[in-house]
Amino acid sequence: MTTPLLDRIPYCPWPGRPRLRWPNDARVAFWVIPNVEYYEFLPAERFGRSGLPTPDIPSYAERDYGNRVGFWRMLDVLDRHHIRPTVNINLAVLEYFPEIREAMLERDWDFCFHGVYNTQPEPRGLSEADERAYYQRVIEMFHRLTGRRMSGLNVLSRATAPLPDLIAELGFLYSADYLHDDQPTPIAVRSGKLVSVPYSLEINDAIFTLFQRPWEGPEFLQAAKDQFDRLYQDGAQQGTVMCLVLHPWMIGYPHRIGYLDQILEYVLGHDGVWAATAKDIAEYYLAHYYDAMLAHLARGNGAAR
């Protein structure tokens, strides 16, 4: 029997938590996560993610633009600011676009699993054994293509109830599926340890632009600055996490790319910012704060609700 979702991450109010400090007494752990995706022209299913009959040419073309042009434009900005991101990767990108794969490997980017194709949801309705076998194949595919192991996963609404148990047993360190906090938190699993690393559907170029129109680049820049300013203020007492979510098919257009440059210049222009990967954040939290938070919860400071 799997752990009910509400028991996975006990409620713990911000006041009174064990004090979290990042390396070199940084206030904010800042991680950047480009979503590098493969959108099939003719998905195996009848309908693509947009709900339109396939081929869904606009959705396909947007992602194709991202891989042809936007990725490389984004890469130049990340390189200029010496950002080593965590890439939210569709594994098909690694298979079909070796130039992108080699650019990411050459820079030693961190990798987070984000599905095999952007057009195919993660399996649901499987037995636990079959779901475990699926993720074992994912691990093997990633290793075949890169020679590496993944440390994290982000599948959001496609996650299943047993998934945290399964990925912890398979050696993953973190999930970026939970949007519930400004700090990492322990996730209860049957065996091993798993950490939630904060992801964002707010400071997210695609969500921001697609669903908050007519807001565009200047508004996204201001929102990112406002987000950082408050997290930086709070970080004087409690270390916080800021996640900047990017999509090459969104931020990589000529009229938007300059705003990424300005966001990175602003955030990195402050002292007390730890530019990290999701794996860095998870490993540091596991080593220094995971046990302290469990002890804090065991004393009755928060409960599942």
Q: What is the pLDDT of residues 19-72, one digit of tens each?
A: 999 999 999 999 999 999 998 777 766 444 555 567 778 888 889 999 999 999
Most confident range, picked from 209-213, 236-240, 298-302: 236-240
Q: Which residues of 25-62 are buried (b: 16+ CB within 10 A; e: fewer)?
A: ebbbbbbbbbbbbbbbeebeeeebbeeeebebeebbeb
Whether residue 117 is contained in a domain is answered as yes
Residue 243 bridge partners (DSSP): 31
- C-alpha distances (whole Å) from 265 to each of 77, 112, 252, 259, 260 are 10, 25, 17, 10, 8
Q: How confident is the model at residue 118 (pLDDT cuts 50, 70, 90)?
A: confident
Q: Are 294 and 186 in contact (CB under 8 A)?
A: yes
Q: What is the arithmetic mean of pLDDT over 133-150? A: 96
Provide the domain count of the chain: 1
For 204, the domain range is: 18-298
- Give the Cα separation of 36 and 249 in Å (integer): 9
Tracing tokens 């969104």 back to the chain, one arrives at 250
Q: Has residue 224 got a pLDDT over 60?
A: yes
CATH classification at residue 223: 3.20.20.370
Whether residue 6 is contained in a domain is answered as no
Q: Has residue 15 got a pLDDT over 50?
A: yes
pLDDT of residue 53: 67
Q: Has residue 12 got a pLDDT over 70?
A: yes
Q: How confident is the model at residue 176 (pLDDT cuts 50, 70, 90)?
A: very high
Whether residue 229 is contained in a domain is answered as yes
pLDDT of residue 304: 46
Among the residue ranges 67-71, 116-120, 134-138, 228-232, the one predicted with the least confidence is 116-120
- Give the Cα separation of 74 and 62 in Å (integer): 15
Among the residue ranges 38-52, 123-137, 204-218, the one predicted with the least confidence is 38-52
pLDDT of residue 125: 77
* Angle subtended by helix axes 257-268 and 217-234, to nearest 10: 20
Closest CA to 147 of 122, 111, 97, 117: 111
Whether residue 305 is contained in a domain is answered as no
Compare 8 and 222 and report the one with higher pLDDT. Answer: 222
Residue 53 bridge partners (DSSP): 47
pLDDT of residue 208: 85
Whether residue 3 is contained in a domain is answered as no
Whether residue 253 is contained in a domain is answered as yes
Q: Containing H/E element for 258?
A: helix 257-268
- Give the Cα separation of 294 and 242 in Å (integer): 23
pLDDT of residue 52: 56
Compare 119 and 14 and report the one with higher pLDDT. Answer: 14
Whether residue 242 is contained in a domain is answered as yes
Compare 200 and 7 and report the one with higher pLDDT. Answer: 200
Residue 277 bridge partners (DSSP): none
Please write the tens of the pLDDT for every residue from 246-280.
Answer: 999 999 999 999 999 999 999 999 999 999 999 99
Compare 129 and 210 and report the one with higher pLDDT. Answer: 129
Whether residue 84 is contained in a domain is answered as yes
Neighbouring residues of 5: CB distance < 8 A, sequence distance ≥ 6: 161
